[in-house]
Amino acid sequence: MITTTRFALVDCNSFYVSCERVFRPELEGVPVVVLSNNDGCVIARSNEAKALGIKMGTPYFQLKDLVKREGVEVFSSNYELYGDMSRRVVSTLSQFTPNLEVYSIDECFLDLSHLRPEEVEEYGVKIKKTVQDWTGIPVSVGVAGTKTLAKVANKLAKKRVGANGVLALNEQAEIEEALRETQVGDVWGIGRQHAKRLQQLNVTSAWDLCRMPEGWVKKNMAVTGLRTLLELRGQPCQDLEPEAPDKQNICTSRSFGRALTELKDIEEALSTHTVRCATKLRKQNSCATGVNVFLMTNRFAVTEDIYCNSRTIQLPTPTNSELELLPRALHLLKGMFRPGKRYVKVGIILTGLVPASEVQLDLFSSQNGEKHAKLMDTLDTLRQRFGHQALKYAVQGNHYEKAVKEEKRAPWMLQKQFLSSLYTTSVAGVLNIKT
């Protein structure tokens, strides 16, 4: 049987907003926004919020009057909820094909090469309905012969009248029409600078880009641009990646809930970030060869000196043990800390990652690798079952991120004034049904 390469891109509509609405159905038709860390700026909007003129990235403090006047519902980012809902969507999509790629928290590519062209659109409708029924999350489905064209189809599926969230580009005439409707800056892989340059050359649509000479594109937009061009012409250049490639560096950092001046508070934050970072490291079965810690004050301060610093240390033996990483991270922090300054952010980057199975041991190392590995495995198991704050090191303090009382929350923890419940991952957050 001869098969034709065919990709589907399934994209969750206004994902963060949709997650909140699943458990608050009365918010359907109501303007809703979700804010970034520390309730800083808008990172997700419902269609109703867009209609009010609310832009992505708008600082929340600028919207307070509009929020009150128009009855806009506001939520802090609830990443634990969004992550779990994303896993449910992916699990649902895996019912339709064993070959899928989780591209982001709200997008998946599916391999539909087993379908005939006349079956594709009906299959897309079935995918959309099943995800909605099983998870409550509305999605759009775009299907085409390449990933880039599937992106184009998905975007048009959301805004074309009559598409109802599903669009398949099977025929060349359909592809050409879709490319003419798509602005060149909306093409996947075309950055802002490339889009600006192309527009100066009167290349305003994806169709215009599709007709550009390959030599010019490769010379001026590198190999990545050439791949985009070929994919727009229907030639697949990107395969599915069912397994995400291991990261070369792992970073964990957060802005503080307020400016900090005490070393102890910053040590608590850095220790917590280090534990999170080490957990991610072990999850991909890697070890780090280097540790980088950075510390900074407010870059936009006008009444005080700006201070940013970063220090790195190479480890004698690659490790993913918190017992090895914590003291080194704290040592780097103490070397950078300057009394009297108001710090707003600290972070850690684990660098030079190598597979845990290929670690070159040091003859003079005192580290008991087997003992550390068993301890870390036990900690990971307990944290996965009872939550990341179930077991902590003393240097992390006795504060709790989800504490109701403010005195139980550390000053470095993020502000989450509008945080919703953990409906799917915490017994305390399970909805009560009153009859």
Q: Mean per-residue pLDDT for 64-80?
A: 95
Q: Mean per-residue pLDDT for 28-35?
A: 96
Q: Is the confidence at residue 417, as pLDDT, over 60?
A: yes
pTM: predicted TM-score of the whole model, two decimal places: 0.85
pLDDT-derived band of residue 404, with 50, 70 and 90 as boundaries? very low
Q: Is the confidence at residue 237, as pLDDT, over 50?
A: yes
Q: Mean per-residue pLDDT for 103-114?
A: 95
The dihedral sign for the CA sequence 204, 209, 210, 213: positive
CA distance 300 to 34: 24
Question: In the numeric block, which tokens belong to residue 241?
Answer: 């990646």
**The pLDDT value given to residue 245:** 78
The whole-angstrom distance between residue 10's C-alpha and the CA centroid of its chain comes to: 16
Residue 352, number of CB atoms within 10 A of its CB: 15
CA distance 286 to 350: 10
Q: Mean per-residue pLDDT for 9-16?
A: 96
**If we measure between CA atoms, which residue out of 275, 274, 285, 277 comes closest to residue 243?**
285
CA distance 43 to 59: 10
Question: In the numeric block, which tokens belong to residue 190?
Answer: 């075309």
pLDDT-derived band of residue 123, with 50, 70 and 90 as boundaries? very high
Max mean pLDDT among 158-172, 302-316, 328-342 falls in 328-342
CA atoms within 13 A on the CB side of 335: 14
Q: Are 315 and 328 in contact (CB under 8 A)?
A: yes
Q: Mean per-residue pLDDT for 372-389?
A: 86
**The pLDDT value given to residue 3:** 44
pLDDT-derived band of residue 401, with 50, 70 and 90 as boundaries? low
Average pLDDT, the chain: 90
Give the Å distances, CA to CA, from 210 to 116, 180, 397: 26, 10, 57
**If we measure between CA atoms, which residue out of 75, 79, 73 comes closest to residue 34?**
75
Give the Å distances, CA to CA, from 121 to 132, 168, 398: 17, 6, 54
How close are the terminal C-alpha atoms of the chain, in Å? Answer: 56
Q: Is the confidence at residue 380, as pLDDT, over 80?
A: yes
Q: Is the confidence at residue 1, as pLDDT, over 60?
A: no
pLDDT digits (tens, 9 = 90+) for 178-231: 999 999 999 999 989 999 999 999 999 999 999 999 999 999 999 999 999 999
**If we measure between CA atoms, which residue out of 330, 145, 103, 143 comes closest to residue 233?**
145
Contacts of residue 181, Cβ cutoff 8 Å, sequence gap at least 6: 156, 205
CA distance 223 to 284: 29
Q: Are 313 and 291 in contact (CB under 8 A)?
A: yes
Q: Is the confidence at residue 403, as pLDDT, over 60?
A: no
Q: Are 329 and 270 in contact (CB under 8 A)?
A: yes
**The pLDDT value given to residue 365:** 62
| Complete DSSP assignment for 136-198 | ---EEEEEESSHHHHHHHHHHHHHSTTTTTEEE--SHHHHHHHHHHSBGGGSTT--HHHHHHH
**The pLDDT value given to residue 313:** 95
Q: Mean per-residue pLDDT for 383-403?
A: 77
In terms of C-beta density within 10 A (0-12 exposed, 13-18 middle, 19 or more buried), how is residue 92 classed? buried
Q: Which residue has the tokens 């798509």?
A: 182
Q: Is the confidence at residue 405, as pLDDT, over 60?
A: no
Q: Which residue has the tokens 């950092």?
A: 253
CA distance 296 to 299: 8
Q: Is the confidence at residue 303, as pLDDT, over 90?
A: no
Q: Which residue has the tokens 């534990």?
A: 275
**The pLDDT value given to residue 371:** 87
CA distance 408 to 335: 29
**% of the chain at pLDDT higher than 70:** 95
pLDDT-derived band of residue 367, with 50, 70 and 90 as boundaries? low
**The pLDDT value given to residue 2:** 37
Q: Is the confidence at residue 305, as pLDDT, over 90?
A: no
**The pLDDT value given to residue 131:** 97
